[in-house]
Amino acid sequence: MRIETEDLVLRYGDVTALDGLTLNLEAGKIYGLLGRNGSGKTSLLSILAAFRRQTSGGVRIDGRPVFENGAVTSRISLIRDTGETLDIGNAEDAIFFAEWLRPDWDGDYARSLLDLFGIDPKKNVKEMSKGQRSALGVVIGLAGRAPLTMFDESYLGMDAPSRQAFYDALLADYMAHPRTIILSTHLIEEVSSLFEEVVIIDRGRLVAHEESQTLLARGTAVTGPVAQVEAFTAGLKVLGTRRLGPTASAMVYGDLDDARRAQAAAAGLDLGPIAMQDLFVHLTGGPGAPGAPGAPGASGTGEESPAAELRTGETR
Ligand SMILES: Nc1ncnc2c1ncn2[C@@H]1O[C@H](COP(=O)(O)OP(=O)(O)OP(=O)(O)O)[C@@H](O)[C@H]1O
């Protein structure tokens, strides 16, 4: 399903959770939704799932409004961090209820996923551990095959092997049944290989919407002897530097042309990729940065960050 939001605003009393968010997401891709705590991810997903109504602005899914539009919402699934299950009954009951709600439900697939995550169908949901409840939510989200499926940190309670099993299942099922999937996560490095496009929001505003590869191509790790690294990176936008004895690795933001790359090679420097998480940290202001959520004097008037470039130049 295709998603369009226009100048979306959501206020909870005095708190502005979404502050004029305009976004266009094509159908049939896996999107990563990234943002710091309180940046508005859950608020956005809740509006897309029609769990909440926006204060102002427009939301259209496949060209149609979502709020109180059952024909559209039955095709949308949002799995939250607490799973998407009722507290009454066992896993089988939760599955039965989901089947009744979801027109694209695949019961055989749901049973195979219960087995994959080691969930006893007869176990009461109330008696499940946090991780088991998360896994049940994930089963419901995957087997629902909703044309718009969103996971809001829903797999956070699961242990590492279960999360890996979820990522593998998600990718395999998405290849077999393409649909629009949004994954909101703080486990950026763990999930980033799944993302085709990345949406970064900060304080309710769009910071970046890019293909993953394009975003990653904006960062380069320059590694080599400290003096050479310092000389090469002088005048470039350096996001951070790590040192280990005589060796330094600087994270540089921005395109490096062929001449610069040749210069690096001649100086004996290695050029490599940087992690999406590092880009994210810097695009959202870095820990405790001026204007960062919760930082003293956070008012949005802080120093210009790389995000400002993206907002003016590259943001769709
Ligand atoms: N029900 C609510 N009532 C009042 N304020 C709320 C409510 N829900 C969220 N907020 C506020 O709205 C802002 C955005 O919250 P939201 O939950 O959308 O962020 P998030 O990006 O999902 O955060 P996290 O990563 O911590 O889950 C925050 O300032 C939050 O305190």
Give tens-digit pLDDT for 170-227: 999 999 999 999 999 999 999 999 999 999 999 999 999 999 999 998 899 999 999 9
pTM of full prediction above 0.80: yes
Q: What does the alpha-carbon distance between residue 176 and residue 108 come to, in Å, rounded to a whole number?
A: 15
The 8-class DSSP code of residue 169 comes to H
Q: Which amino acid is at 184?
A: S
Domain range holding 296?
217-314
Same-domain check for residues 122 and 247: no
Whether ligand 1 lies within 6 angstroms of the CB of 38 is answered as yes
| pLDDT, averaged across the chain | 88
Give tens-digit pLDDT for 34-62: 999 999 999 999 999 999 999 999 999 99
Residue 295 — very low, low, confident or very high, per pLDDT cuts 50/70/90? very low
User: For a substitution probing ligand 1, which of 41, 80, 154, 186 has the most ligand atoms within 8 Å of its CB?
Assistant: 41
Same-domain check for residues 133 and 181: yes
Q: What is the total count of domains within the chain?
A: 2
Q: Residue 86 pLDDT > 80, yes or no?
A: no
User: Whose Cα sits closest to atom 1 in ligand 1?
Assistant: 12
Beta bridge partners of 198: 32, 210
Question: Of the residues 164, 190, 213, which one is the last residue of a structural domain?
Answer: 213
Q: Which amino acid is at 13?
A: G
Q: Which three-class secondary structure state does DSSP give residue 46? A: helix
Same-domain check for residues 101 and 245: no
Q: Which CATH number fits the domain that encloses residue 20?
A: 3.40.50.300
Beta bridge partners of 33: 184, 199
Please work out, in degrees rounded to the nearest 5, the angle formed at the alpha carbon of residue 154 by the alpha carbons of 157 and 106. 120
Same-domain check for residues 207 and 232: no
